[in-house]
Amino acid sequence: MTHYETILIFHPDLSDEELDTHAEAVRDRLTAGGAEIKDMERWGKRRLAYNVRRQRYGHYVLYRYTAPAKVIRETESHLTISEFVLKYLTVRCGSDEKTPPDFLRGERGRTEEGEPTEETSPRSPERTHPPSESSDSEKPPPAPQKADEPAATEAETPAVEAKPATAEAEAEPEPATAEAETPDVKPGA
């Protein structure tokens, strides 16, 4: 059997008793299909990042279990229909993987002085140095080539040289434009 984690967001207007009833109903549905529940965590009522079914808050519940794929499909179809479940997400995990609850709850480690720890999550790598000024992203993309032409390397591509500015070129007056020759005309006259 495969290891899964499912997180559910229940409607915020549910009382604690109703929330327990619906969370146990989901648990019973999973176990009836052959799933083995490893852990169930209630995270409480939290603010959502955006409105879901016109709700700003929701009760979070996380299940960790092993189950056959058929049980997942049946449970998710039931969750889609349920009016008490705002959203759900099921993720297949490795047998040794376990999502740390502190990471999912948005909690960060703190030192004894109350300062955040230096640890970063594996999903957001830490940048150790600023990007160099001569990065490859500033180079223009290569021109498209036909299928029968070999690809040209950077050494083979001729470089475009800029013309040196001369004093004569700067001293030349600019040609007169048509607007400069027309007399001032008031609009609407």
Does residue 125 register a pLDDT over 50?
no
Asked if residue 107 belongs to a domain, the reply is no
User: Which pLDDT tens digit goes with each residue over 60-76?
Assistant: 999 999 999 999 999 99
Confidence bin at 21 (pLDDT 50/70/90): very high
User: What is the predicted pLDDT for the residue at 106?
Assistant: 57
Tokens for 48?
């959502």
User: What is the predicted pLDDT for the residue at 168?
Assistant: 53
User: Which pLDDT tens digit goes with each residue over 96-119?
Assistant: 666 655 555 555 455 555 555 555
Q: Which CATH number is 78's domain given?
A: 3.30.70.60
User: What is the predicted pLDDT for the residue at 163?
Assistant: 57
Kindly write down the DSSP assignment for every residue of 89-141, as one continuous string. Answer: EEEEE-TT----HHHHHT---B-TTSPBPS---TTSPPP-SPPPTT-GGGSPP
C-alpha neighbours within 13 Å on the C-beta side of residue 164: 2
Rg of the chain over all Cα atoms, to the nearest angstrom? 32
Cα 61 to Cα 40: distance, rounded to the nearest angstrom? 7
The mean per-residue pLDDT over the stretch 135-160 comes to 59
Q: Find the domain containing 27 and state its range.
A: 2-95
Asked if residue 102 belongs to a domain, the reply is no
Asked if residue 76 belongs to a domain, the reply is yes
